[in-house]
A and B are shown apart, each in its own frame.
Chain A
Amino acid sequence: MSKTVNGITIDDTFAEAFGMSGTGIIITADSMKWAKIAATVATGFGTSVIGAGAECGIDKELTPEETPDGRPGVRILIFGFSPDALIPQVRNRIGQCVLTSPGSACYAGLKAEKTMPLGKGTRLFGDGYQTAKKLGDSRYWRIPVMDGEFIIEEDTGVTTDAVGGGNMLILGRDRAGLLETAEAAVEAIAKVDDVITPFPGGIVRSGSKVGAKYAGMHASSNDAFCPTLRGTIKHSELAPDTLAVLEIVIDGLTSKAVADAMRIGLKAVTDIGAKRGVTRITAGNYGGKLGQHHYHLKDLI
């Protein structure tokens, strides 16, 4: 039985999410502006593991008191299929996007039993002039660069308890209002620790289904939710007044964080959505057989 909250229909369905591996990295710089530039570039092209190799995003901004070097910073999260799959992603993203960014430094952003290399490969950029400083359990590499030294911690934590693909589909009869509502939900989710929304601005407009009619395509357009196909396909899920659908995808370091993020996101949508033409909220799943984590919308309202 679907529910109605503030005039918005909540489908009796669930978001189906997958177990993933995730890591956290703290990026600092002389100013928040430059920490964010490095973090934004390092997490760029990190939307879906299928095509981008990793799902990345900025988790939160950190005050100087919260970072290992007392400078402003941000924590980014990177998710992949396995710790091994994360290694080249982290190495390349940090090596190309953080090492190169003026004044940056890079530290472990996740304390976990398992660790993975952070600066282990990047340190070789120092060509023998790099030195290490071990403080407590952490080893920091100092790599001479043209604006001083790039500091990077040797390892960071990695968890295999992460969850990828928590999601909600927001349906509405006004495209502008729908986008505004989805933006508000992403903004609310951003306040939850340990989660990211990896798609552009946190929002996906090209939700996908598994498989395609073409060989070699692993995913293809979620036709049942494409408004322009309504009427011409038998399996359309959309009511006559639905003009557009936007999806928010959530990755988190723990299942609880993903559930919290979905709860807060759903609340943001139901709080302000009706006035902006939102009519219905549903979630993406594959019948429950593929993903280990199920988030029932009715439990999160």
Chain B
Amino acid sequence: MSGLKLRFKAPATERINLAGITPSKLLALSSHEIARLNVGIEKGGVALGDAFDISGEAGETLTIEGATPAIDFVGDGLDSGTIRVVGNVGSFAARKMSGGKLEIHGDAGDYLASGSTGGMILVSGNAGDNLGGVETGERFGMLGGMAVIEGNIGARAGDKMRRGTVIVRGKTGPGAGSRMIGGTIWAEGGFGRDPGLMMRRGTLIGPSVESLLPTFVDCGKHDLVIIRVIARYLKSTLGDLAPKPMPLFVQKIGGDTATIGRGEILLPAG
């Protein structure tokens, strides 16, 4: 693949912060300037060229090889182009991403897609806690875009998420959709314990849920047109990556009635 390639020189002496390292930003810099970018978190700093072997020319694609969970903020601020990561990454990947594509061939850490407003995130492995969740001091978690996680995800996914779509091939941890304001989480492997704590709006779709909070209520079985619209949209956007369509009849569990209760958990009507 053409474009710049970064090969991580392990082991790292400190955590690596790749915030703002995006194809469009690197395109504007000379190779000398790229190598001098600070990616460390401590006082002395770590130059990009010291932490990574750099090869290729800056272009639409940035490839990061040999990634480890010591690397945080991969794809932070990504607005266009593609970042392709081979290996696992740390926390805050795709933070405030607004466009383009982030492919992680491995696992992602906590706070994946926090504050992201657009673009496509593909994770071939698992993702940690607070996927699409709100960062301390901010009002909202994920605000747009799409994330597809082939594995399982941790706790409290979509905490204060407002818009956007998360597809999980596996299962979610406990508390998915907590304080959710909008958006969609579709977990093909089902939801863990107590999803939707203090959820205002938003949609959780899946085949099963481990346990429900007492403030969620059964709204009956319905043939919801919006399920068809979501399924059709995902099919056109994701192709083969789209989740298998839900049965046309779904059981709607409404909540959280401890707040305004306009959210919903949609399960197959059985």
| Beta-carbon nearest neighbor of A65 in chain B | B232
By the criterion CB–CB under 8 Å, are A133 and B203 in contact? Answer: yes
Chain A residues with Cβ under 8 A from B141's Cβ? Answer: none
| Beta-carbon nearest neighbor of A129 in chain B | B262
With known contacts A148-B222, A148-B224, A132–B229 Cβ distance under 8 A:
no
Q: Which of A3-11, A134-142, A220-228 contacts B (4 or more CB under 8 A)?
A: A134-142
Chain A residues with Cβ under 8 A from B2's Cβ? Answer: none
By the criterion CB–CB under 8 Å, are B237 and A136 in contact? Answer: yes
Interface 1/0s, chain B 153-195, versus A by CB < 8 A? 0000000000101000000000000000011100000000000
A105, B230: Cα distance in complex, Å: 14
By the criterion CB–CB under 8 Å, are A135 and B165 in contact? Answer: yes
By the criterion CB–CB under 8 Å, are A136 and B233 in contact? Answer: yes
The answer to whether A95 has its CB under 8 Å from any CB of chain B is no
| Beta-carbon nearest neighbor of A139 in chain B | B163
By the criterion CB–CB under 8 Å, are B262 and A135 in contact? Answer: no
Closest CB of chain A to B255's CB: distance in Å?
A: 13
Closest CB of chain A to B143's CB: distance in Å?
A: 10
With known contacts A135-B165, A136-B237, A148-B223, A70–B228 Cβ distance under 8 A:
yes
By the criterion CB–CB under 8 Å, are B229 and A135 in contact? Answer: yes
The residue that B225 contacts in the complex, of A105, A132, A136, with Cβ under 8 A, is A105
The answer to whether A151 has its CB under 8 Å from any CB of chain B is yes
Chain B residues with Cβ under 8 A from A129's Cβ? Answer: 262
A123, B23: Cα distance in complex, Å: 41
- The bracket for how many chain A residues form the interface is 10 to 19
By the criterion CB–CB under 8 Å, are B222 and A68 in contact? Answer: no
The answer to whether B1 has its CB under 8 Å from any CB of chain A is no
The answer to whether B201 has its CB under 8 Å from any CB of chain A is yes
A134, B233: Cα distance in complex, Å: 11
Closest CB of chain A to B185's CB: distance in Å?
A: 13
The answer to whether A149 has its CB under 8 Å from any CB of chain B is yes
The answer to whether B128 has its CB under 8 Å from any CB of chain A is no
Interface 1/0s, chain B 134-161, versus A by CB < 8 A? 0000000000100000000000000000
Chain A residues with Cβ under 8 A from B225's Cβ? Answer: 69, 71, 105, 148-149, 151
Chain B residues with a Cβ closer than 8 Å to the other chain, count: 21
A133, B162: Cα distance in complex, Å: 10
By the criterion CB–CB under 8 Å, are B201 and A149 in contact? Answer: no
A136, B237: Cα distance in complex, Å: 9
With known contacts A148-B223, A148-B224, A149-B224, A133–B237 Cβ distance under 8 A:
no
Closest CB of chain A to B119's CB: distance in Å?
A: 12
Closest CB of chain A to B257's CB: distance in Å?
A: 14
By the criterion CB–CB under 8 Å, are B232 and A70 in contact? Answer: yes
A84, B163: Cα distance in complex, Å: 30
By the criterion CB–CB under 8 Å, are B226 and A140 in contact? Answer: yes
By the criterion CB–CB under 8 Å, are A142 and B226 in contact? Answer: yes
A132, B228: Cα distance in complex, Å: 15
Closest CB of chain A to B44's CB: distance in Å?
A: 44
Chain A residues with Cβ under 8 A from B224's Cβ? Answer: 148-149
A140, B165: Cα distance in complex, Å: 14
Closest CB of chain A to B159's CB: distance in Å?
A: 19
Chain A residues with Cβ under 8 A from B223's Cβ? Answer: 148
By the criterion CB–CB under 8 Å, are B228 and A133 in contact? Answer: no
A135, B205: Cα distance in complex, Å: 15
Chain A residues with Cβ under 8 A from B229's Cβ? Answer: 68-69, 105, 133, 135, 140, 151
A71, B183: Cα distance in complex, Å: 24
Interfacial residues of chain A within 130-166, with CB under 8 A of chain B in the complex: 131-136, 138, 140, 142, 148-149, 151
Task: Show the binding face of A for B, using Cβ within 8 Å.
Answer: 68-71, 105, 129, 131-136, 138, 140, 142, 148-149, 151
6 A–B contacts from the bound complex (CB under 8 Å): A133-B203, A133-B226, A135-B230, A135-B233, A148-B225, A151-B226
Q: A70-B232, A133-B230, A136-B233 provided; 4 other pairs, C-beta below 8 A? A: A68-B233, A148-B223, A149-B224, A151-B225
Task: Show the binding face of B for A, using Cβ within 8 Å.
Answer: 144, 163, 165, 182-184, 201, 203, 222-226, 228-233, 237, 262
What 10 pairs between A and B have smallest CB-CB spacing?
Answer: A69-B228, A135-B233, A151-B225, A69-B229, A70-B228, A134-B163, A105-B225, A69-B225, A131-B201, A131-B262
